[in-house]
Amino acid sequence: MEVARLWLGGRGLGTYLALRERLFEVDPLSPENLLVVAPGPLTGTGAPASARYSMTSRSPLTGTLFDGNSGGSFGDALRRLGWDYLIVSGALDEPGYVTLGMVGADDASPAGPAAGFHSAGDLWGRDVPSTLARLRELYPRSEAAVIGPAGERGVLFASIVNNRGRSIGRGGLGAVMGAKRLKALVLGHGDRRPPVADPERLEFIVYEAEKLLKANPITSTALPEFGTAVLVNVLDRAGALPTRNHRETRFEGAAAISGEALKRDHLRRRSACRGCMIGCARRTAVGDQTGEGPEYETIWAFGAQCGVSDLAAVVRANYACNRAGLDTITMGSTIACAMELTELGLLPDGPRFGDARAIVELVAATAAGEGLGAELGLGSARLAALHGRPDLSMSVKRLEMPAYDPRGMKAQGLAYATSNRGGCHLRANMLGPEILGVPKMVDRFATLGKAGLLINLQNLNAVLDSLSVCKFTAFAMKEDYYARQLGAVWGETVEPQELLSLGERIWNAERLFNLAAGFTRDDDTLPPRLLHEPVADGPSAGQVVDLPPMLDEYYISRGWDEAGVPTAVKLERLGLLTVAAAAGVPPGRRQARGADADAP
């Protein structure tokens, strides 16, 4: 409980273990790198949208500390075996998979802690759906997390997928599994319900929280009706839909790839993570193929970012990524980078903007490591540098940015630049305040005055990933509901501000990891295009991101020095002085003003 009170679980626990084991010193694809699998204290308790878990490691794509958070049933299954987390270390001599909680000749009993090790046999080389299906045949009622051919081949943005088709999608943690020659983690069916100190109190709080989710128009109508793809038209009308490798902010084909078009032409039924009443996922079909998605980010990555308005091709590219185990955001954005390189004559015979056929073919080539696919598998930062134009990679810390152009929503640019895992909207998405007016509308073109709002979101999202709860619930619920739910589970009183302070602690600990790994203020930046190339036309015409003053304001609000290093005052308040010393990170120097101020 001492560790739980400081790090919660999920992402926070992964951060603690990554620092303790000094992963900032290891090669991400070496046996010394670890993969930490951790649900949160709310996982499996019946809290709304809490059937989630995190995987944490050092990313082979970015070199940063990296965690992915996924829905499905895998996290629940781990807790029903009586496990709060597990660590995968070392590497197998030959491809294999691991079982936990199985009854068999070389497996542990449900009550035992041991793991069963098995040869991968014909599982190695299979795609994700056939691997999951075969494991279900071998182990009925099991839950599995697997990699596909992309992870086996070491594609730097390979994903990990579980039985419900939910992914640990970004940062290449599938390549970490592949480097360990680990095809799958398979969990048996346990009968241990996660302990709840005050079940009646939790039941009442859950009842109240679900009423809020039903009353909120985003969680009760927009997401269930159209899924995340409802945002295509919203962002396009705002002039914040990145198009053709972020050269433009509106796409003439937006209506053809919108959530409305997806519902009309390809939707078969809604889908949801285990225990979730929102149901934002989609089961779709194109031709004789069926599958999960695509989500908004995927539609954008293969659609507007590549200049493709053929929704059927976008759906097929999404399915191809799901089969191979590939992150769709990085895949689509890397193809877009290749398209611009081709247009400039730097990539002979490469793909061109608008080529719907190419996006499907290049996914397959990347998974197989064939032709141009071998270069695409490195991600856009390495691809662009390889061809002499590193500025054409739309990434931060080598992680491709998602579907929100910060020239049309300035604080989103600050969110990308300061994200501890690279260009990411899940650390803090300013879509709410800058576009949707949630919790309040702010001027999306304003440069200053938003650092406090962004920091609060970053701290809250660190809490949600650690509890582990879906971020969509935050459209309807405030932090006091999460605090009350955790208090019922622990049998203690947990104050909302206490919870946000833990989120701040986790965020600063992640910063310490990256500083120890060699990252500096210079890495807290955006692609030159966003800083220096004004939008040509539309609602965001003339806009660029004036990042330096935003970054200065952010550092002061965080209690960091001008170099982005937490000061001794900040570290002491958060109980991280010993952690910083162990990581070899000296405290930052106090700034002239505000350095000892607590984050909002």
Max Cα-Cα span within the chain: 68
**Distinct helix (H) and strand (E) counts, the chain:** 26, 15
Average pLDDT, the chain: 94
pLDDT the model gives residue 595: 42
- 106 has pLDDT over 60: no
What average pLDDT does range 236-257 have in this prediction? 98
Q: How far apart are CA 310 and CA 337, in angstroms?
A: 19
The CB density around residue 480, as the number of other CB atoms within 10 Å, is 14
Q: How far apart are CA 295 and CA 241, in angstroms?
A: 15
Burial (CB count <10 Å: 0-12, 13-18, 19+), residue 137: exposed
Burial 572-590 (b: 16+ CB within 10 A, else e): ebbebeebbeebebebbee
More confident residue, 522 or 220: 522
Show Cβ contacts of residue 363 under 8 Å, excluding neighbours closer than 6 positions: 317, 320, 321, 324, 326, 331
Residue-wise pLDDT for 417-443, tens only, equals 999 999 999 999 999 999 998 888 999
What is the CATH T-level fold of the domain 227-400, as seen in this structure?
A: 1.10.569
Show Cβ contacts of residue 233 under 8 Å, excluding neighbours closer than 6 positions: 254, 255, 258, 259, 260
What average pLDDT does range 57-84 have in this prediction? 94
What average pLDDT does range 35-53 have in this prediction? 95
Residue-wise pLDDT for 322-351, tens only, equals 999 999 999 999 999 999 999 999 999 999
Instruction: Write down the residue that tokens 């397959």 correspond to.
Output: 364
Residue pair 474/467 in contact by the 8 Å Cβ criterion: no
The residues pairing with 57 across neighbouring beta strands, listed in sequence order, are: 66
pLDDT the model gives residue 276: 82
- 592 has pLDDT over 70: no
CA-closest candidate to residue 383, choices 571, 539, 156: 156
Q: How far apart are CA 491 and CA 40, in angstroms?
A: 16
Class of the domain covering 2-187: alpha beta
pTM of the model: 0.95
pLDDT the model gives residue 594: 46
Helix axes 479-490, 496-516, angle to 10 degrees: 90
Tokens at 582, concatenated: 């162990």
Q: What percentage of the chain carries pLDDT values higher than 70?
A: 96
The residues pairing with 560 across neighbouring beta strands, listed in sequence order, are: 566
Instruction: Write down the residue that tokens 């903007």 correspond to.
Output: 353
Instruction: Write down the residue that tokens 């995987």 correspond to.
Output: 55
Question: Domain locations in the chain?
Answer: 2-187, 227-400, 410-475+495-583
Tell me if residue 323 falls in helix, strand or coil.
helix
Residue at 464: amino acid letter: L
The CB density around residue 491, as the number of other CB atoms within 10 Å, is 11
pLDDT the model gives residue 593: 54
HSE toward the beta carbon, residue 434, CA cutoff 13 A: 30
Residue at 403: amino acid letter: A
pLDDT the model gives residue 598: 45
Class of the domain covering 410-475+495-583: mainly alpha
